[in-house]
Structure 1
Amino acid sequence: MRTYVLGDIHGQIDQLRRAHALIADDQAQAEEDAPIVHLGDLTDRGPASAEVVEYLRRGPVSGGRWITIRGNHDFMFRLFLDDPLARDPGLNPAYTWLHDRLGGRETLESYGVEVPDDRALADIWAEARARVPVAHRVFLDNLPLLHRTDQAVFVHAGIRPGVPLVAQAPTDLMWIRKGWLDDDSDHGLLVVHGHTALEEPAHYGNRVNLDAGAGYGRPLVPALIDGRDVWLLTEAGRVPLRPGDALG
């Protein structure tokens, strides 16, 4: 089964639209409407998280369905809206979602919430609750943690090696790095993920990392997965991504 897939978006609406345009061009040439999987982290760091959430919430006008996976940044945003003092168990306790490194401020500002350093947290939270549409909260609440096909599984951060998919902990699916990024075992399925930003997508044989750093201003690179074969989509067309390869 063919599947188009995008890595972490991080509030970059222009990059998201550009990536979808590349996918639409490829779909037109292939004359096939395959689903599009978004690997999570819709929000934070970039300037237009609210627009990204609304764009993906509305879904495709035509063509294959869209599947949007929950990322750790999406979960932290949603957690803040329920309780600004709640702690995501995957987050370093030295940080909060509003720390400059996380990008929560930019997300709230995209909804029109002012977040100066001297503003009381309770006031920020109250305005966020008023400005973030209920429809956005419901959309984020219902994002799945993974999507699988016969030969691939799509997840935000990765999987805990040796643990069946049905027993994977949500915190691992959204946060895992240690014990995962250095694991070269065969997981049965090709694992397609984001979360750990690279300079460009990379294929490691047992997994593919498509987080090319859109949250840090780099391009969002869409890919086509056909079985375990991977192609990156560029303005020049498809570029195969094989084990050991990276774009460029």
Structure 2
Amino acid sequence: MRRYALGDIHGHPDALRRAHALIAADMARTGEPAPVVHLGDLTDRGPASREVMDYLIAGPKQGGPWIVLRGNHDFMFRLFLDDPTARDPGLNPAYTWLHDRLGGRETLASYGVDVSDHRSVAEVWAEARARVPLSHRVFLDNLPLLHRSEQAVFVHAGLRPGVPLIAQEPTDLMWIRDGWLDDPRDHGLLVVHGHTALDAPHHHGNRVNLDGGAGYGRPLVPAVVEGRDVWLLTPEGRVPLRPPEG
């Protein structure tokens, strides 16, 4: 029943290690391992996406299994490596993955790619193909889009309300905001997601958003989910995360 979860990492390995230390401490207190679900957006914006990838690929040395979901930024990174002209259908047509707002350049720089403005996209792509290890591409290829337990479903962005879980579109699972964030209906399962950065994790009743803005320098706060009950993990222990009253 128990799952640990943490939101968008965005190239911050130190924050990731701190979050895993809090999870390990909680596991030690309970005396039992449990799966750890990473909600996607491993890469972009932060300074060390490659280090994050290396850490997650290496996997856990103890405790329960790690489940790593695919976020929209991870998909854009992987898509660029195959075809720099291909467009993610969820991305605003005004942008490309290399736009300053998205953080793709920071990801490539973490692999040692020269992303200077004077270089063409073709030059950047050719160097990226040479520098990003095949093992990283294979890892990204195999990331699932969701994970579920008996009473919760874990996904990067959210669900299309009213659509069965098995029929959800990948673009919605990685990108959805409109029609989702303002939908108050119960979805049958508690939905634990990231993608939409907040000042801190928040429980909305039918869903829990764990993207506390680590991509913008705010803390990466892990949570533990037991059934539909949620606690944030802090150095002092568990803190209940509940919907606002009223």
> When the two structures are superposed, what TM-score results if normalisation uses the length of structure 1?
0.98
Render the CA deviation track for 1:193-242: whole Å, top value 9, x for unaligned.
00000000000000000000000000000000000000000111100001
- 4+ residue stretches of structure 1 with deviation over 6 A? none
The alpha-carbon deviation at position 244 of structure 1 amounts to 1.8
Report the Cα distance in structure 2 between the residues aligned to 1:170 and 1:213, rounded to whole angstroms.
Answer: 23
Specify the SS of the correspondent of 2:109.
helix
Give secondary structure in 1 for the equivalent of 2:87.
coil
Aligned equivalent of 2:116: 116
Shift of 1:121: 0.9
For 2:202 and 2:37, how far apart are their aligned partners in 1? Answer: 18
Determine the structure 1 residue equivalent to 2:151: 151
Structure 2 residue runs without a partner (length 5+): none
**Superposed displacement of residue 62, structure 1:** 1.4
Partner of 1:223: 223
How is 1:176-215 mapped onto 2 (pairs within 5 angstroms)? 176-215=176-215
Deviation at 1:58, TM superposition (A): 1.2
| SS of match in other structure, 1:191 | strand
Q: In structure 2, what is the Cα distance between the partners aligned to 1:91 and 1:178?
A: 14
C-alpha RMSD over aligned residues: 0.6
* 1:233 aligned counterpart, secondary structure: strand
1:136 is matched with: 136
Secondary structure (helix, strand or coil) at the match of 2:179 reads coil
Which residue does 1:88 correspond to in 2? 88
Distance (Å, rounded) in 1 between the aligned partners of 2:161 and 2:244? 20
Q: What's the CA shift for 1:243?
A: 1.1
Partners of 1:161 and 1:57 in 2: how far apart?
33
Aligned-residue identity in percent: 78
Q: What is the rounded CA distance, in whole Å, between the counterparts of 2:146 and 2:57 in structure 1?
A: 17
2:152 and 2:51 map into 1 onto residues whose CA distance is 29
